């Protein structure tokens, strides 16, 4: 006696009955393949995340740390790292540093970088909001005349393949 499932129903049949009804066997095989294909596609999609590397240059001194924030939306960009999709801090070496974001999903992003000289995790600004610490954003977008760079100008497309972007710090 053999059993097979079709739409949550269990059918039992002897081997001789299945031999006489090859149509049922074909339906069973096609159904099994149809259910397996989406599962394979889901696992491929889950593995599509990749690595985004940010190479930072023009670091003026060896003090402190370099903070990198990855933004998937404009809310908080560029200075509110707590609203970023990911933030990490690295040490610089010989005026350069590298931030590596792993398991990044494909999408549209912008990166904000700061030289956190006093290691407090925040970009220091003066009374009118101009940065006192060196900073930079993706696409090396300059600040607006009266404010920070715009998110849309700093965005780039990320496909999930390994990618490296370069950010040059400015004051």
For 4-55, write each residue's pLDDT tens digit.
Answer: 444 444 445 444 444 445 444 434 343 444 444 444 334 344 446 899 999 9
- To the question of pTM greater than 0.85 for the whole model, the response is no
pLDDT band at 146 (very low <50, low <70, confident <90, very high): confident
Alpha-carbon span 29 to 10, nearest angstrom: 15
φ, ψ for residue 158, nearest 5 deg: -120, 120
Q: What distances in angstroms separate CA 40 from CA 33, 37, 85, one per listed residue?
A: 11, 5, 28
The pLDDT score that the predictor gives to residue 103 is: 95
Mean pLDDT of 130-157: 92
Q: List where CATH 2.60.40 sits in the chain.
A: 50-168
Residue-wise pLDDT for 73-132, tens only, equals: 999 999 899 999 999 999 999 899 999 999 999 999 999 999 999 999 888 888 888 888
Pairing of strands 163-168, 86-90: unpaired
Enter the CATH code of domain 50-168. 2.60.40
The pLDDT score that the predictor gives to residue 49 is: 85
pLDDT band at 65 (very low <50, low <70, confident <90, very high): very high
The pLDDT score that the predictor gives to residue 96 is: 94
DSSP codes, the chain? -EEEEETTEEEEE-HHHHHH-HHHHHHHHHHHHHHHHHHHHHHHHHTT-EEEEEEEE----SSSEEEEEEESSSTTTTT-GGGSSEEEEE--BTTBEEEEEEEEPSEEEEEEEEEETTSSSS--B-TTS-BSS-EEEGGGPPPBTTBSPPHHHH-EEE-SS-EEEEEE-B-
The pLDDT score that the predictor gives to residue 28 is: 38
Pairing of strands 107-116, 97-104: unpaired
């Amino acid at each position: 006696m053999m059993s097979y499932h079709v739409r949550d129903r269990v059918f039992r049949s002897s081997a001789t009955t299945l031999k006489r009804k090859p149509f049922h066997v074909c339906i069973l095989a096609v159904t099994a393949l149809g259910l397996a294909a989406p599962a394979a596609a889901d696992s491929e999609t889950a593995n599509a995340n990749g690595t985004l590397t940010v190479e930072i240059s023009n670091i003026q001194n060896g003090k402190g740390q370099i903070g990198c924030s990855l933004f998937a939306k404009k809310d908080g960009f560029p200075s509110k790292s707590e609203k970023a999709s990911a933030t990490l801090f690295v040490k610089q070496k010989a005026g350069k540093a590298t931030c590596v974001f792993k398991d990044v999903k494909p999408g549209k992003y912008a990166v904000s970088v700061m030289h956190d000289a006093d290691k407090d995790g925040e970009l220091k600004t003066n009374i009118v909001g101009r940065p006192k610490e060196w900073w930079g954003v993706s696409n090396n977008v300059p600040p607006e005349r009266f404010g920070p760079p715009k998110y849309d100008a700093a965005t780039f497309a990320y496909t999930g393949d390994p990618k490296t972007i370069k950010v040059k710090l400015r004051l």
